[in-house]
């Protein structure tokens, strides 16, 4: 019986044409992050399971991760997100690192899910974090980086919006403004987090069920409605708008607008599920009505590093998945057709390989990327291969060419050719690459 | 109880200074491969276990890999090498791919081993393969790429040697020249593969034990000794030297010497353990007497793709581990000190952040990589941070600077500073980066 050629369910093989797209995307990300002074880090794809249990998501660990015992009976998990790992790295060198840290990574992550559009078992995720800045300048910078990341692919700000909220503001609303107890608060916040997944009457019915009879008499539902329907911070009740977390969020939005990030808007319903967020949260939404959904998001999570028994470090970051990001680029036609990295495809005429090695080597020394056919097939088949590989030029080397030191260079897309010396070939090819 | 900050046993965290070295190494590799027209591919880190079982190494699977059942009771394995995955990819599109394929990848691999110097549980491995060329031009090119890979770091050919053998030649010696049966042949080849791990008398004792009394009478041991002691192909018995596989290997070594790869030598004891090699095999050895060991190797494995039920494809390739390669670079002092990618560290004087955003953004738009301190600490602390991060320049922005449009740029290593306009800063910084 022969072996299956299929990759494991929910994963992707990256053939060169797929890898080229991934590299294009990742390298653009890297360029943006480095302009802002961010440095790349990495961590193992396998982590001790306890790293994820600390966040209290035992159910998720049991059902949605790749967790197993190693041969030494230690429980290990294929990483499901990068934030626990990066917090571990910072905590391990808490004292010796030079803050603020600006760190990014593009790890592959694993989740045991039923594969569906936009959701795979193995995916990549860019992670960007700034550690050691308590002020909103850090939140502002992280959102600026997120914005620059999308813009760098040629997107316009009309194609996406950046929705913001403040978890501390939600706590203020819930505890101080509405007067809920901590159990009611938690239930309400989780409910709002799922608000967009249900119909309005269902949602408000569940909200009512949280309140006590006296709270219902005090019309808390109406008060909450007014808040959750607010399109801007000005529409909030005065008392709420005057609160410290609302002021902070207002200041942040103002700073972003000042910088031209005009698509930054307040969204009182934005919670972001993760329990570790403590303050500002944000999400970048695709504005395409066909595809109006969250692309990625982040926020401030000041408490996480302290779980490792060290003094906490202020932390703000965001993460974006490769599949969702690529879908956005494709649906807005922002992915260019990517040519082969190879410049020249050498086709040998007759038995000249040994003597062709030298000129080929010279081209490489001058920086030209050269693949040689080497199959000895008929010339038209070799040309077809070069075309199929999307390589711009074919170069013919035979007895005569070697004698004259002039080689026939054919631009395959135009089907035009001329005989040129090596140095001239280098110029022509490099000019083409620059276009 | 607080969480451990340690990574999982036998794995590494990559802090930015570690990741910088890895990126330096990997990007140099990529540059070399692309000069030869190789394209990058990738595959999932988790593969169906059967992919590895096919090679018949059930014991290795059981004891030396991370193998577990997923929640659907499928046996999966963290990839231990890339050759089975790349063979799977080629087999899956056997008919539609444009041969020859030149493919490379730099995957992370997992082995369940006792961690020790140079051996980790998670490591990276560069993999380079050419598919679809049956002639020795492919073997020659793969070895040329291996050689160029080492040279690209500034190594000299005296620092390493490239040892070559031909598995078909060994089969000829064993079956035809010595007249062994297939069981004897297999035992002998495995024994020679472990030859360097034992003392000569022990080795030759085990060899004697393979032979029958009549074979011992025919002095097979002496005949084999003469072969295994051969330093060049000329030292082989005439009959052996005239055989087709010896001629082929001789021709290959000649081709390599012709190209200046003068450190390519015949080594009759080189086997390379993997059963899938069918023809030419080679290994790159560090010549440092303190560290005289195999750095990496490869060879031809024409049979592997056929295991997927498709027509076989001629295949030659090599693989090199990141740890061994980095050790080589370090012991030969070939790793440069790598500076930060960030050009400029901005230190704000007073409460000017909002107004500083614009000039900072302008610098970035002109391609300067700028990190801003943002902590509001005392100036000398901020300068210390820039020094610790190994960033070449500090840039001071305060009220006065913003008014004048002239900013103090300090070259930290020299402790020299001057006041410059933004455009001039861009020039100074870019000049520095080019150095």
Interface test with A, best of B4, B46, B103, B135 (most A CBs within 10 A): B46
CATH topology of domain B16-177+245-331: BirA Bifunctional Protein; domain 2 (3.30.930)
Give the lowest-confidence range in A56-70, B28-42, B51-65.
B51-65
CATH 3.40.50.150 assigned to A344-434: no
Q: Tell me which chain A residues have a C-beta less than 8 angstroms from the C-beta of B93.
A: 15
pLDDT of residue A133: 97
Mean pLDDT of B209-229: 94
Calculate the CA dihedral of residues A216, A217, A221, A223 and round it to 10 degrees.
-140
Give the lowest-confidence range in A247-256, A270-279, B90-99.
A270-279
Chain B nearest-CA distance from A117, in A, is 18
Cβ distance of A342 and B34 shorter than 8 Å: yes
pLDDT of residue B213: 94
Contacts for A72 with CB less than 8 Å, ≥ 6 apart: B9
pLDDT of residue B57: 65
Q: Are B270 and B163 in contact (CB under 8 A)?
A: yes
pLDDT of residue A12: 97
Q: By the CB < 8 Å criterion, does B338 face chain A?
A: no
pLDDT of residue A63: 83
- State the DSSP string of A364-400: HHTT--EEE--S---HHHHHHHHHHTT-SEEEEE-HH
Q: By the CB < 8 Å criterion, does B379 face chain A?
A: no
Among A100, A103, A96, smallest CA distance to A310 is for A96
Q: Measure CB to CB from residue B41 to each of A14, A45, A361 and give the nearest one.
A: A14
CATH topology of domain A138-301: BirA Bifunctional Protein; domain 2 (3.30.930)
Q: Tell me which chain B residues have a C-beta less than 8 angstroms from the C-beta of A71.
A: 63, 112
* Span A12-45, pLDDT tens digits: 999 999 999 999 999 999 999 999 999 999 999 9
**SS3 for B347-408, per residue?**
EECCCCHHHHHHHHHHHHHCCCCEEECCCCCCHHHHHHHHHHCCCCEEEEECHHHHHHCCEE
Q: How many CB atoms lie within 10 A of CB B161?
A: 18
Contacts for A424 with CB less than 8 Å, ≥ 6 apart: none
pLDDT of residue A55: 61
ipTM > 0.90?
yes
CATH number for region A8-134 = 3.30.930.10
pLDDT of residue A119: 86
Gap between the Cα atoms of B364 and B362, Å rounded: 5
Gap between the Cα atoms of B257 and B279, Å rounded: 20
In degrees and rounded to multiples of 5, residue B55 shows phi and psi of -80, 0
Percentage of residues in chain A having pLDDT higher than 90:
90
Give the lowest-confidence range in A57-71, A252-266, B125-139, B276-290.
A57-71
> Hey, which residues 255-294 in chain B have their CB within 8 Å of chain A?
255, 258-259
Q: Tell me which chain B residues have a C-beta less than 8 angstroms from the C-beta of A384.
A: 98
Mean pLDDT of B316-338: 95
Interface test with B, best of A6, A11, A15, A80 (most B CBs within 10 A): A15
Task: Give the pair of three-digit tokens for residue A67.
Answer: 């967790």
Q: By the CB < 8 Å criterion, does B95 face chain A?
A: no
* Span A395-421, pLDDT tens digits: 999 999 999 999 999 999 999 999 999
- State the DSSP string of B272-285: -S-TT--SEEEEEE
Reported pTM: 0.95
Mean pLDDT of B360-374: 97
The count of CB pairs under 8 A between chains A and B is 253
Cβ distance of A259 and B361 shorter than 8 Å: yes
Interface test with B, best of A1, A5, A72, A108 (most B CBs within 10 A): A5
CA A404 to chain CA mean position, Å:
53
Q: Where are the domains of chain A?
A: 8-134, 138-301, 344-434
Q: Are A78 and B39 in contact (CB under 8 A)?
A: no
Identical topology for domains A138-301 and A344-434:
no
pLDDT of residue A53: 86
How, if at all, do strands B67-69 and B75-78 pair? antiparallel
pLDDT of residue A300: 96
| A57 pLDDT more than 80 | no
Residue entry with tokens 């294009």: A24
Q: By the CB < 8 Å criterion, does A356 face chain B?
A: no
Task: Give the pair of three-digit tokens for residue B162.
Answer: 């490239």
Q: By the CB < 8 Å criterion, does A19 face chain B?
A: yes
Q: Would you call A320 helix, strand, or coil by DSSP? A: strand
Q: Tell me which chain B residues have a C-beta less than 8 angstroms from the C-beta of A92.
A: 5-6, 13
Whole-angstrom CA distances from A427 to A153, A430, B31 are: 29, 5, 19
Q: Measure CB to CB from residue A388 to each of B3, B48, B98 and give the nearest one.
A: B98
Gap between the Cα atoms of B63 and A179, Å rounded: 59
* Span A333-360, pLDDT tens digits: 999 999 899 999 999 999 999 999 999 9
Q: Which residue has the higher pLDDT, B274 or B232?
A: B232
pLDDT of residue A117: 80
Q: How do the residues of chain A divide into helix, strand and coil, expressed in percent and rounded to 5?
A: 45, 20, 35
Among B330, B227, B229, B228, smallest CA distance to B286 is for B330
Q: Tell me which chain A residues have a C-beta less than 8 angstroms from the C-beta of B48.
A: 4, 8
* Span A85-134, pLDDT tens digits: 999 999 999 999 999 999 999 999 999 988 888 789 999 999 999 999 99
Cβ distance of B374 and A137 shorter than 8 Å: yes
Give the lowest-confidence range in A168-177, B51-60, B157-166.
B51-60
Q: Which residue has the higher pLDDT, B434 or B109?
A: B109
Cβ distance of A2 and B76 shorter than 8 Å: no
pLDDT of residue A394: 97
Contacts for B335 with CB less than 8 Å, ≥ 6 apart: B21, B24, B153, B326, B329
Average pLDDT value for chain A: 94
Q: Would you call A336 helix, strand, or coil by DSSP? A: coil
Which one-letter DSSP state was computed for residue A176? I
């Amino acid at each position: 019986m022969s072996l299956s050629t299929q990759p494991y369910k929910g994963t992707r093989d990256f053939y060169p044409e797929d890898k080229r797209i991934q590299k294009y995307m990742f390298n653009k990300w890297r360029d943006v992050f480095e302009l802002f002074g961010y440095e790349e880090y990495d961590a193992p794809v396998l982590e001790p399971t306890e790293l994820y249990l600390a966040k209290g998501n035992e159910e998720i660990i049991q059902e949605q991760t790749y967790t197993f015992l190693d041969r030494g009976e230690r429980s290990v998990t294929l990483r499901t997100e990068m934030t626990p790992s990066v917090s571990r790295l910072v905590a391990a060198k808490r004292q010796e690192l030079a803050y603020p840290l600006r760190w990014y990574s593009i790890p592959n992550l694993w989740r045991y899910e039923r594969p569906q559009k936009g959701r795979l078992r193995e995916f990549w995720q860019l992670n960007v974090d700034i550690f050691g800045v308590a002020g909103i300048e850090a939140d502002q910078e992280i959102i600026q980086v997120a914005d620059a990341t999308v813009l760098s692919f040629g997107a316009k700000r009309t194609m996406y919006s950046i929705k913001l909220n403040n978890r501390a503001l939600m706590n203020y609303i819930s505890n101080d403004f509405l007067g809920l107890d901590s159990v009611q608060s938690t239930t309400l916040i989780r409910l709002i987090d799922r608000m967009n997944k249900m119909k309005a009457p269902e949602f408000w019915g569940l909200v009512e069920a949280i309140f006590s009879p006296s709270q219902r008499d005090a019309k808390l539902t109406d008060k909450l409605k007014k808040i959750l329907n607010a399109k801007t911070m000005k529409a909030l009740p005065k008392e709420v708008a005057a609160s410290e977390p609302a002021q902070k969020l207002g200041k942040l939005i103002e700073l972003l607008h000042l910088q031209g990030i005009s698509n930054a808007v307040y969204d009182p319903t934005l919670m972001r599920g993760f329990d570790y967020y403590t303050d500002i949260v944000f999400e970048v939404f695709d504005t395409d009505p066909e595809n109006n959904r969250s692309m990625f998001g982040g926020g401030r999570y000041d408490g996480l590093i302290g779980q490792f028994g060290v003094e906490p470090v202020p932390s703000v970051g965001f993460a974006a998945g490769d599949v969702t990001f690529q879908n956005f680029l494709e649906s807005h036609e922002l992915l260019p057709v990517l040519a082969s990295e190879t410049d020249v495809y050498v086709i040998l005429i007759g038995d000249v390989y040994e003597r062709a090695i030298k000129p080929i080597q010279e081209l490489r020394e001058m920086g030209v990327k050269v693949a040689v056919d080497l199959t000895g097939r008929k010339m038209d088949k070799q040309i077809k291969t070069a075309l199929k590989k999307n390589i711009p030029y074919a170069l013919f080397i035979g007895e005569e060419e070697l004698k004259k030191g002039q080689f026939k260079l054919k631009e395959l897309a135009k089907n035009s050719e001329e005989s040129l010396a090596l140095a001239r070939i280098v110029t022509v090819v490099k000019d083409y690459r620059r276009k």
